[in-house]
Amino acid sequence: MNFFERQAQARRNSTRLIALFSLAVLGIVLMVGVLVLLVVGPRPGPLLAVAVVTLAVIGLGSLFRISSLRSGGETVAQQLGGVPVAEDTRDPQLRRLRNVVEEMSIASGVPVPKIYVLEQEAAINAFAAGYSTSDAVVAVTRGALDRLNRDELQGVVAHEYSHILNGDMRLNIRLIGVLFGILMIGIIGRKILIHGRGFRNSATIVVIVGALAAMAVGSLGMFFGRMIKAGVSRSREVLADASAVQFTRQTAGIAGALKKIGGLDSGSRLAHREDAEEVSHMLFGDGVGLSGLFATHPPLIKRIQALEPGFRPEQLSRLQQQWMMNPPDGLQEDVALGLVAPGEALPHKDRALAVTPPMVAAQVAHPHDDDYARAHALVTAISDPLHDVATHREAAMPLVLALLLDDSDVVRGRQHTEIVARMGASVATEAAHLRDTHLLDLHPMLRMPLAALAFPVLRRRPRPELATFLDTVHAVVHADEHVSLFEYCLGRLLEVQLRETLDPGRHIRFGRRKPGNVKQEFATLLAVVAQAGNPGDQAAAQRAYLAGMQRVLPRDHVPYAPPAGGVQALDDVWEPLDALDPLAKQVMVEAITAAVSHDGQVSVAESELLRTICGVLHCPLPPTLEQLPH
């Protein structure tokens, strides 16, 4: 399955989750009804009242937990005791982790997520949490940092990126909120039992019996909750393992991490069992020790054998004995194995690629072959001073604004005025300085990676500052009607990603619209793309437009009519197009690609434009498009 098919499957899983939750609620209400029936007999009034109260407790519990998670993945990481990893850390283990995550993000075309370490957990485990790529968090345990070498850490992080890219992460965090409701009655019973022990009157027996009954109902809720998590999670863990192999181009990394889980006493079980129970379905390894019907992960041996078919259980026993005497040290293994991420030269900025629309659509959120190596090449190509600027708290905003400054002196003067009016003269001066000293000769493929590196710093700014910055980005982009399509789309991408961080809970729905419902929006986007790619050649622009429309609306005739407002006309198309059904988005990406590549080739600049548009529409592309073989 490609990205769009997995998104569609994730949407179906959401529907399935609601159905399973409804059945679980029905089972709990029936059990409570039976208990009441045994106590008071067949009296409709009490039975109805208890059913209503039970439904209210479950519903309010789920709503409360969902509301508490509105801030996204960071809430989950902090709940488990996670400590954020600073962008400028010099700790070797943390620097290695951050490098791996940054390169994974650039390779997959998504913003760099926040990174957390569960410092109190000696086990080897990890998870990704959040509603969208813009509020995602990747967390690893201290045990993973200490015990895994770089290849193994890459495998674990790549596994988590599969969950980020395929819609699993959104479903996982929703599952936490929904299942909390069916556990509420048991939690109430346990609290009552604890506090009821202090009673010294005739009510004591009634309180204890009621608490025990509530805990019995809670056990049923736990049963249903574990069954739902196991049913939703297990198959996706197999897919994530396979995706990690495809991403990193080797099985030794993730297989090695799984072997260390099985060979070390600490394994993958988290010390904070109660918190681990709630997030067990989103962990890299089994965090609570469940098996059989309740297992959220396939058996460890089967996961290893899926990666290395010749592996045998007795080999794991030998590793256990070896590591019992001499536990592995990840950093020492890096030195001994000479592990350095591979790299390659960036393509020349004037190079043209031969691609097809289906090839590009297949790459969306599906890093493959050399994408990780290319991401390493991109990060390496960014000079250390520029990297430091991107990850520095005070410099990140001027740097991003510098990426949006126009080549025209007149337009740049207007942009300078807009920045001064909103953020002050010092920010405007710094943006101009960064453009002149670092960005004039910047390779086109490095602009989005720079924005991705700056993203974690930007989203940590206070909400009022972030709102002012977004307003400034909008003003800089719209300072002149001749603004380029790339500058407009990069500005829009920044706005989309940063606004999602302000209220992650609003961005949790899969789209359902069909292409036929957004004909005019398609026409506007394709007309602007065609016109931008063929300046001064009206006939070529029309051919590009028609190539795109033939892909998405082959039976409709929507004439080519470039909007009078130029690129600014796109303000009205993003939201409707982003609300498309996942499979309709696949056709949309193919249509945009057809328009860009109507002459049979795509330049590096055009490929970056395509990546930026896809990023705005939540269809992340890897750093380099695969091309047809010569």
Parallel, antiparallel, or unpaired for β 352-353 and 114-118? unpaired
DSSP 77: H
Question: Residues with Cβ < 8 Å from 72, sequence gap 6 or more?
Answer: 129, 130, 131, 132, 135, 136, 137, 173, 501, 504, 505
Catalytic hit among 103, 160, 237, 277: 160
Cα separation, 269 vs 264, in Å, equals 11
Residue 116 in 3-state DSSP?
strand
Give the pairing of strands 82-84 and 114-118.
antiparallel
CA-angle at 431, arms to 426 and 434, nearest 5°: 120
160 as an active site residue: the answer is yes
- Distance, in Å, from the CA atom of 327 to the CA atom of 562, rounded to the nearest integer, reads 65
Considering Cα of 443, then 444, then 448, then 454, what sign does the dihedral take? positive
Buried b (16+ CB within 10 A) or exposed e, 375-388: bbbbbebbeeebbe
Q: Quick check: 77 and 116 in contact, CB under 8 A?
A: yes
List residues bridging with 602 in a β-sheet.
353
DSSP-derived letter for residue 461 is S
Write the single-letter amino acid at 388.
Answer: D
8 A C-beta contact, residue 329 and residue 152: no
**Quick check: 525 and 587 in contact, CB under 8 A?**
no
Closest CA to 591 of 628, 534, 544: 544
Q: Rounded to whole angstroms, how far apart are CA atoms 427 and 46?
A: 67
Question: By C-alpha distance, which of 613, 608, 609, 602 is closest to 623?
Answer: 608
Distance CA 445, CA 577 (A): 25
Taking alpha carbons only, the member of 298, 312, 270, 277 closest to residue 159 is 298
Q: Tokens for 369, please give them.
A: 């072959």
**Cβ neighbours of residue 95 closer than 8 Å, sequence gap 6 or more:** 89
**Which residues make Cβ contacts (< 8 Å) with residue 280, sequence separation at least 6?**
229, 286, 287, 288, 290, 296
Beta bridge partners of 128: 138
Structural contact between residues 181 and 55, judged by C-beta atoms closer than 8 angstroms: no
Give the SS3 label for residue 378: helix
Residue 114, SS3 per DSSP: strand
The SS3 call for residue 437 is helix
Q: Does an H or E element contain 138, and which? A: strand 137-141
Taking CB atoms within 8 Å and a gap of at least 24, the contacts of 409-415 are 410/480, 411/479, 411/480, 411/482, 411/483, 414/479, 414/480, 415/475, 415/476, 415/479
Catalytic residues: 160
